Chains A and B, each alone.
Chain A
Amino acid sequence: MDAVLETHDLSKSYGSRPAVKKLNLSVGQGEIFGFLGPNGAGKTTTIRMALGLIRPSGGTVEVLGQDVARHGDRVLPRVGALVESPALYLYMSGRDNLKAVGDLLGGVPSRRIDEVLELVGLSGRQRDRVKTYSMGMKQRLGLAIALLHDPDLLILDEPANGLDPAGIVEMRDLLRGLAAEGKTVFVSSHVLAEVQQICGRVAIINLGELVKVARVAELLESQGEFVVLVENAEAVLELLQRQDWGRSARMDGGSLICSSPTGRGRDLARFLAGAGHWPDSLAERHQDLEDIFLSLTGGDR
């Protein structure tokens, strides 16, 4: 898998306050890669460095195999980006906005402008000044601008901002379609359900530091635990913790949380019964990305 976006010990401080600390990431071609972190974690700062907007205080970002700080002019034309809320020329029409951005790389055929407008569902309002657009329409135009040059890498910072549910579904399908074509999508988001549905891998950062990089599927399945209601929970806990497979057993709010010898509930039940502890109930504990995210970043529910 060729790395399309790679950071090496990437760091940035604003004055003396570090915003990103020694970040190492590698995103391969065709991936939809989620970039998660609480407010102020350093997502936008990282994205700005990847786009050559701000200079790293240390380390490098490579995009499409080139150091952005030195050869941005070579690779950034192949990148489409949407950073924070979309920046647009409010006094111009949606179409003229696309034309102005198209001109940067020598102009795009008018058919391509029709096409991206169609793609984001703005064809009907393309002649209106952007000033008159709703927030979601501006977000759509921002996405159209990012897509205009048919980029190999799409870097999207909170792209779902302001989109209605239908818009979110459309965007999800759009990103999947692009990835299927071999394009790479790097997307930061707060909407974890969204990320869970479309991203293959995610990186979670907190306070500028990388906390975890993993496949979403792995993150979700590695937590195959059970919630057990049983008498003498303390004694059972001690018993479980003595087992090789049970070391992670713990009490959480009055219920016992533990894994099973095989991963299956029936084998956990059999073990407990065999030891004379018949459980009152035993339920698989489902965690979604949100739980994992909160436990990794120290947030409270």
Chain B
Amino acid sequence: MSADTASVRSVPAEALRSPGPSFLGVVRGELLKLSRQRALWALLAGGTLLLVVTGLALLTTGDLETRYKASHESFFANTFDILGALFNTGSGIVLLLSAARLFGMEYSGGTIRILLARGVGRLQLYLAKLVALAVLGAGLLVGFTAIAGAMIAIAIQSWTGSIGGLTSLPPVSVELLKVILLVALVSVGVTVLLGSTAAILGRSLSFGMAVAMGFFPADNFGTLILFILQRVTHNDAILKVSAYLLGPNLNVLVSLLEPGLKLRPIFASPLVTVSAAHAWTVVGVYSAVFLAGSVLLLVRRDVLE
């Protein structure tokens, strides 16, 4: 600290005088914090590698080529469905960790006090973090689509000598693609809300990470437990519980929205028949509860960190 520079300010005072917190500025700060997380980059690199390696392994087996040649529609239905589930799982892991970390570290490191002590509103901070995570989610979707699309294009090119099969998709496949993208976006949204709520609730990085990462495995596995319980007790009401779990309803959304394709969800689905409206409602209610819970906790509680 040098006293002689204390009064020297090369930057004009007006340039440092802000009328108040800036929402876009807060978002930019959050993106900076995200981008400096080495673990995130490592996860993305690992995920990309995994995607490319498994993709190539699948596409080079003769089976898919035969399938493609037999029916474009069924090939695309299968491929898009699998890729969609893969994206939801992969992006889910990345986003849950990132959301729990982005919120949790402010509590664990106590840095939430420097943010709020500058006059940034609690709600403003919450929304800015959600926007930053949404940007990450959108980036993941774009990146995943580009890599997956390129791999399919390369495969089709090698099978048929042109990528015409991909550029002029059958209408049914286009329809499915739209549904899968919609569900992917919804899944990004719910995941971000879940991860942030966990961190805010526990006001801690480790609690947030643990709950966020445990949630989907727990409700997927919970479905299995419910199934076993029903077998033991012969009480059918137990199965109904599975219709209200978040993960299974998300998993089943695509097949419910595209019933004609008779897709079977890869991960756990509700043990009783549910309608698309039901699945949407469950997902909507969970999201609303996460959102309202986070806002309430953030706004009402004193910051003692």
Contacts of A209 in B (CB 8 A): none
Contacts of B36 in A (CB 8 A): 89, 91-92, 96
**B18 contacts partner chain A, Cβ-Cβ < 8 Å:** yes
**A296 contacts partner chain B, Cβ-Cβ < 8 Å:** no
B interface residues, how many (CB within 8 angstroms): 47
A150 pairs with B16, CB closer than 8 A? yes
Closest to A172 in B: B3
Contacts of B181 in A (CB 8 A): none
**A79 contacts partner chain B, Cβ-Cβ < 8 Å:** yes
**Which B residues from 1 to 18 make CB contacts under 8 A with A?**
1-3, 5-11, 13, 15-18
**B53 contacts partner chain A, Cβ-Cβ < 8 Å:** no
**A99 contacts partner chain B, Cβ-Cβ < 8 Å:** yes
B7 pairs with A103, CB closer than 8 A? no
A112 pairs with B3, CB closer than 8 A? no
**B32 contacts partner chain A, Cβ-Cβ < 8 Å:** yes
Q: How far is the CB of A47 from chain B (nearest CB, A)?
A: 9
State which size class the interface on A falls in: 35 or more
**A23 contacts partner chain B, Cβ-Cβ < 8 Å:** no
Chain B contact residues, majority secondary structure: loop
A77 and B18 in contact, given A53-B303, A91-B37, A100-B32 (Cβ under 8 angstroms)? yes
**B232 contacts partner chain A, Cβ-Cβ < 8 Å:** no
- Among B10, B16, B25, contact of A104 (Cβ-Cβ < 8 Å): B25
CA distance A181 to B7 in the complex (A): 7
Contacts of A173 in B (CB 8 A): 1, 3, 6
Q: How far is the CB of B111 from chain A (nearest CB, A)?
A: 4
Contacts of B3 in A (CB 8 A): 170, 173-174, 176-177
CA distance A257 to B75 in the complex (A): 101
A83 pairs with B26, CB closer than 8 A? no
Q: Once A and B bind, how many residue pairs between them come within 8 Å at the CB atom?
A: 165
Closest to B28 in A: A103
**B22 contacts partner chain A, Cβ-Cβ < 8 Å:** yes
Contacts of B105 in A (CB 8 A): 89
**B304 contacts partner chain A, Cβ-Cβ < 8 Å:** yes
User: What residues of chain B have their CB less than 8 Å away from a CB belonging to chain A?
Assistant: 1-3, 5-11, 13, 15-22, 24-26, 28-29, 32-33, 36-38, 105, 109-121, 302-305
Identify 17 residue pairs between A and B in the complex whose beta-carbon atoms are under 8 Å apart, listed by A's number.
A53-B113, A53-B116, A54-B302, A73-B21, A79-B118, A91-B36, A103-B25, A104-B25, A104-B26, A105-B22, A107-B25, A108-B16, A115-B9, A150-B11, A150-B13, A167-B1, A173-B1
User: What residues of chain A have their CB less than 8 Å away from a CB belonging to chain B?
Assistant: 48, 51-55, 72-79, 81, 83-85, 87-92, 96, 99-109, 111-112, 115, 118-121, 140, 143, 145, 148-150, 167, 170-171, 173-174, 176-178, 180-181
16 new A-B pairs (CB below 8 Å) besides A87-B112, A107-B22? A73-B20, A81-B117, A84-B110, A87-B305, A89-B105, A100-B32, A100-B33, A105-B18, A112-B15, A115-B10, A149-B16, A167-B1, A170-B3, A173-B3, A176-B3, A178-B6
